[in-house]
Amino acid sequence: MDEPLGLLAELTYACPLHCPYCSNPLNLGDFGDELTTEEWRRVVTEAAGLGVLQLHLSGGEPLVRRDLVEIVRHAGDLGLYTNLITSAAGLTPRRAEQLRAAGLDHVQISIQADEPALSDRIAGTPSFARKTAAARLVKDLGWPLTVNVVLHRHNIDRIDRILALAEELAADRVELANTQYYGWAWRNKEALLPSTAQLARAEPVVRAARIRLRDRMEIIYVVPDYHGRYPKPCMGGWGRRQLTVVPNGDVLPCPPAHALPLPRASVREHSLAWIWESSPLFQRFRGTDWMPEPCRSCPRREVDFGGCRCQAFLLTGDAARTDPVCHLSPDHGIVAAAVRAADEAAGRREHVLAPRPHPGRRV
């Protein structure tokens, strides 16, 4: 068993944005009893003891937490590399200076589109101007900047202009990640999944930009699972390299695993080491012994580890089945039908996006 490389700390699910592709849980009110500052400090300390090297601070919107600076400082004192994943709402010059002084290493800002009106419409609130101003502030303070854009049917045709915006903002890295269909994104899947033709137009644009900008900006492009021939290895494999702690202290092998009917594991009841090494949750799909056919006899079984357990559950009702994204899966027809529907719906606007609501919050 490997040591975990990274911890994703979802500090809160509170967020001023209403993105319809959000992967946060649908039942946001169940996560309002957030970990206290001292509990997060203990989690970070235990993570460092477990071998974690990177702490990714996310949500919701992590800047909502008044103790964010303290958590960053504590992680830095333990030698962890800290990455803030933010909508940039609330990243004022004063807050940015505090985080810089506390030792924050990297900032990742989400942008919904290159054009203000479209970006604000997708975000569900006026935010584009604040995001671009925050991105410039990040560069002024000397931080590495990642611009993260979740792609879907409503913005993928603007990928050339999105890349131009990232270049204008002097981003060191841009993540063009097609929507993963969990949480609110699952609810909005029919309105978000891009067509085959849209992907065919986007991919050569990305390839050309990678060549042109190879010495200035790293470009990560993640094709949507539904359009792939093989599934992606979920977080590098279940319980292999990553773990997530959500606002109420539950620990997960990947962010959307809260939806699976599995025993819970909480830092309020057990140490992070016990959860990682011994909990039934982390043992359930670790390795390859759990796999059914065709995964069990597949030469790719230690490449993609059967794909995503959450995706398998959402599409088939059984988290132990082969991810239907795989063309060898007996359930692949479910995914093929979804892609056909996206192709047929191209250019139509019959689906209405359901915005993510604000959760209740207790600290």
User: Binding site membership: which residues?
Assistant: 15, 19, 22
Q: Which two tokens stand for residue 165?
A: 């915006």
Cα–Cα nearest to 7, from 33, 37, 44:
44
CA 320, CA 66: separation in Å to the nearest integer?
Answer: 40
CA 61, CA 55: separation in Å to the nearest integer?
Answer: 15
Q: Which parts are annotated binding residues for [4Fe-4S] cluster?
A: 15, 19, 22
CA 121, CA 116: separation in Å to the nearest integer?
Answer: 8
DSSP secondary structure letters along 38-97: HHHHHHHHHHHHHT--EEEEESS-GGG-TTHHHHHHHHHHTT-EEEEEE--TT--HHHHH
Cα–Cα nearest to 111, from 93, 91, 87, 89:
87
Sheet strand arrangement including 242-245: 218-222, 173-178, 145-151, 106-110, 81-86, 54-58, 6-10, 242-245, 251-252
Neighbours of 232 (CB within 10 A): 19
Q: Which two tokens stand for residue 271?
A: 């140490």
The residues near 221 (Cβ < 8 Å, ≥ 6 apart) are 176, 203, 206
Question: In whole angstroms, how far apart are CA 269 and each of 4, 35, 258, 266?
Answer: 20, 12, 17, 5
CA 25, CA 11: separation in Å to the nearest integer?
Answer: 14
CA 23, CA 338: separation in Å to the nearest integer?
Answer: 19
